[in-house]
Amino acid sequence: MRISAVVPAAGRGKRLREKSDKAFVLLDKKPILFYTLKNLERIKDIEEIILVVSRRSLQYTKEIFLKKFNFKKRIKVVKGGPTRSDSVWNGLREIDKTKDLVLIHDGARPFIDEDLLKMVINEGRKFEAVVPGIPLNFTVKEIKNHLVVRTLPRQDLWEIQTPQFFKKDLLISCYKKARKERFIATDDAQVVERYGHKVRVIKGSPLNIKITTPEDLVLAKAILRATI
């Protein structure tokens, strides 16, 4: 079974307080996205990468970024949409028809390691949807109007990461339904959950962070120093 990877990387860097799109913010003199793509292209089973970027980064990505870093895998660049769901949908529509499986990984998660990628892919060959996650080890409370409504049982709560892995036809079918209903999910697994499909969760990595805030960038620099 043949695999495509869709990499949504169209998010703005507003919370990072940067002018460029988040995926192109520098991490040790290279864009965050560089590390993400380098880790993905190490996986032999991934035959193509669909990179989704914003309209303003489209030309830079094609003419400068990809040429400068000389990635070995075939990378197709697609224009993103106003939401993450729109961007993923734009990527899904560009997948080669010969591919059966799709892996979706955030462009702003640069520390996805080879072992976790292989584990997600291996589980994904057995189940129709697989996601990695980390069990929460802190207390979570539901709050309304600055008052506690309830304390959630943390033994049942996980922080879900990417890469998320799906049978391609299943994910596309669910996305079509979601778009018809104008449902916007916070991750891709939520789209298939909505239509009654089971999603298998496996143990992710605490280093597999998504860089969103200036504090995340500080942590990412520390992780990079520790893993070089």
Q: What pLDDT is attached to residue 94?
A: 96
164-167 and 129-135: which strand pairing?
antiparallel
Q: What pLDDT is attached to residue 1?
A: 74
Q: pLDDT tens, 76-106?
A: 999 999 999 999 999 999 999 999 999 999 9
- Read off the pLDDT of each residue in 184-201 and give the average, rounded to a whole number: 96
Beta bridge partners of 49: 5, 75
Whether 228 shows a pLDDT value over 70: the answer reads: no
Question: Over the chain, what is the mean pLDDT?
Answer: 94
Whether 18 shows a pLDDT value over 90: the answer reads: no
| pTM, 2 dp | 0.94
Reported as a pLDDT band with limits 50, 70 and 90, residue 171 is very high
Q: What pLDDT is attached to residue 143?
A: 97
- Read off the pLDDT of each residue in 155-184 and give the average, rounded to a whole number: 96
Q: What pLDDT is attached to residue 191?
A: 97
Write down all domains in the chain, each with its CATH number in brackets.
3-227 (3.90.550.10)
